[in-house]
Amino acid sequence: MKKIVALIFLLVSIQSIGQKNLFTKGLVTPKNYYTEIEFEYISEKIIIPVTIENKTYRFLFDTGAPNLISTQIKNDIEINAIKSINIKDATSKRNSLAVVSVPEITIGGVSFKNCPTLVDANKQNFIFDCFEIDGIIGSNMLQKSIVQIDLKKNVIRLTNKKKKLTLNKSDATKLHLIGRQKSPYIWIDLHGKKRAKEHLLIDTGMKGFYDVSLKNFNALQKNKIFKVQSEGIGSKSIGFFGAAEKSKLYRVTVDTLKINQTIFKNVTTATTSDDNSRIGSEALKHGVMTMDFLNKKFYFSSYESTNDLAEKLWGFSPTAINNKLVVGVVWDDNLKKEISFGDEIIKLNALDVPQIDICDFITSKASYTKKDTLELTVKTSEGLYKTVRIEKTWPQ
């Protein structure tokens, strides 16, 4: 990976723990529609134009979350909250958010009416601020649609008529719509020393290819599915309500991961505190993805039948806390003697980090090297400055 932000794992997924039908009740879609929406792909985030009351906004397209709008949009369209419900984000942090019914949301000329939508109450939100977005189009608004994402053409095809799309039955598997927001789940195959299946979320709002929840890791490891590369204490995830709490994390490799008929080899990932494992938006680099919410089918038309994802890794992962780039997790045992979780990152080679907007790291605008070595300077909690030389290494 060429950019330091590629090591920051951003999660936008939100899980509701409120009323059962609140996110699906009342939604009205057209009888027959097909549209193509061009999108921006920024640091593995899909950004689309959305129209509400003749004004165009920037929204994140995120199948791991429900619909959500900014407080500003809510005030602009003058709608009242239906009620407030408790929400848990992907780092398991909780908060209470208002739910409204947006009279009409238009995407690519297709209008959805009476859309159940959360309202962001955060005064500061990394996702909204850094990506300059105004809301999220989530899975609950897609429940009556078929969604095809083609990254090579930077196009989302949105329809309710399967015949409008080019689909191959051999690329399909069953799609499970789980929970109050109709989150899309599939089964994947994993092969380590033994074989296993895992039920996980298709999360287009997630940066990266695959992340395994600690809960699933513990269950799967009974069958020796993963090879543990290293352990660390810290935090590497940023959820909707802020950075994840400090905890024990594992960096692991699985020999083979299979999505439908497509094989991915040498997949390295890290555990998360979320309840769910996920396939993220990096998968879009390997094929055209179709989520048929209507007929409960998932298609993955891959560019290559087998993909080797082996890569060299840094001995630490950064994260963002209190608007500062800091050491999130230290994976390398020798490096643990030099730097620790929470150490503020001062320099990356010649890059003066405190002088750069944190959003430039989150959106991958700030690059630091194309080489496999890095000179890292940190400020410790005691106020000491340390400089260490780090080199990327292959997983064992």
The CA-atom distances, in angstroms, between 21 and each of 108, 182, 219, 242 are 27, 10, 31, 27
Q: Does domain 4-8+12-163 have CATH number 3.30.420.40?
A: no
204 pLDDT more than 70: yes
Under CATH, which architecture does the 164-308 domain have? Beta Barrel (2.40)
283 by DSSP, 3-state: which? helix
pLDDT (average), residues 368-384: 89
CATH topology identical between 4-8+12-163 and 316-391 = no
| pLDDT score at 8 | 38
Among 16-20, 83-87, 251-255, 315-319, where is mean pLDDT lowest? 16-20
pLDDT grade for 396, boundaries at 50, 70 and 90 = confident
Under CATH, which architecture does the 316-391 domain have? Roll (2.30)
All structural domains of the chain with their residue ranges: 4-8+12-163, 164-308, 316-391
| pLDDT score at 7 | 35
Beta bridge partners of 254: 267
17 pLDDT more than 50: no
Bridge-based pairing of strands 135-137 and 55-61 is parallel
Query: Which one is predicted more confidently, 83 or 6?
Result: 83
| pLDDT score at 252 | 97
Q: What are phi and psi of 52, to 5 degrees?
A: -135, 120
Beta bridge partners of 378: 345, 386
pLDDT grade for 13, boundaries at 50, 70 and 90 = very low
Q: Which residue has the tokens 């000491």?
A: 384
pTM comes to 0.91
Name every residue whose Cβ is closer than 8 Å to that of residue 64 and which is 6 or more positions away in sequence.
11, 12, 13, 90, 138, 139, 183, 201, 202, 203, 204, 205, 206, 278
349 pLDDT more than 80: yes
pLDDT (average), residues 321-340: 93
